[in-house]
């Protein structure tokens, strides 16, 4: 957590951006949230204690956190990006429930390897990827019976 702050400081400095209290508060709030959140959800948490911070500031700061490698944005098919911790978290992919919005993290070295192999066969050098599987979670399936 302290490291993430130092990385963000160095990033702002390198970009010639000012280190502001508001950015600090947003970073703290984000680091304190475990999971996958939309910018609106992060804004709601931040503004509960800090109503002076506007949505635009939260949104811009999240973008900076992504650029700094602290956050990662995940594209979900409801059109809203979700953000999760990237720094200190290993690569993983996601199962996304289209009913309740739950996100389950998955990782399988064989799938990772297969993706690399498929890319290589096409002469393609992969830099990053996202694998999101959309469906209905166990709890939602039970609820529907």
Q: Which H helix or E strand runs over 94?
A: strand 93-97
For position 45 contacting Zn ion by CB under 5 A, the verdict is no
Tell me the closest approach of the beta carbon of residue 143 to Zn ion, in angstroms: 8
Give the CA radius of gyration of the chain: 17
Torsion angle in degrees (nearest 10) through CA of 115, 121, 126, 131: -30
User: 42: which 2 tokens?
Assistant: 């992060």
Binding to Zn ion by residue 97, rule CB under 5 A?
yes
Distance CA 77, CA 127 (A): 22
Residues 68 to 87 in contact with Zn ion, rule: CB under 5 A: 84
The stretch among 13-21, 24-32, 55-63, 104-112 that binds Zn ion (CB under 5 A) is 104-112
**Using rule CB under 5 A, residue 141 touches Zn ion:** no
CB of 140 to Zn ion, least distance (A): 3
Query: Which residues lie near Zn ion (CB under 5 A)?
Result: 84, 97, 99-100, 102, 105, 137, 140
């Amino acid at each position: 957590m302290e490291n993430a702050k130092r990385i963000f400081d160095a990033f702002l400095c390198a970009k010639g951006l000012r280190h502001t209290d508001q950015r600090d508060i947003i970073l703290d709030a984000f680091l304190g949230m475990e999971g996958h959140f939309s910018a609106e959800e992060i804004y709601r948490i931040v503004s509960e204690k800090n109503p002076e911070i506007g949505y635009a500031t939260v949104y811009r700061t999240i973008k900076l956190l992504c650029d700094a490698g602290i956050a990662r944005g995940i594209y979900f098919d409801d059109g809203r990006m979700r953000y999760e911790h990237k720094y200190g978290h290993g690569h993983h992919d996601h199962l996304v429930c289209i009913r309740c919005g739950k996100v389950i993290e998955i990782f399988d070295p064989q799938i990772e390897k297969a993706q690399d192999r498929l890319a290589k066969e096409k002469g393609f050098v992969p830099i990053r990827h996202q694998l999101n599987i959309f469906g209905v979670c166990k709890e939602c399936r039970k609820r529907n019976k």
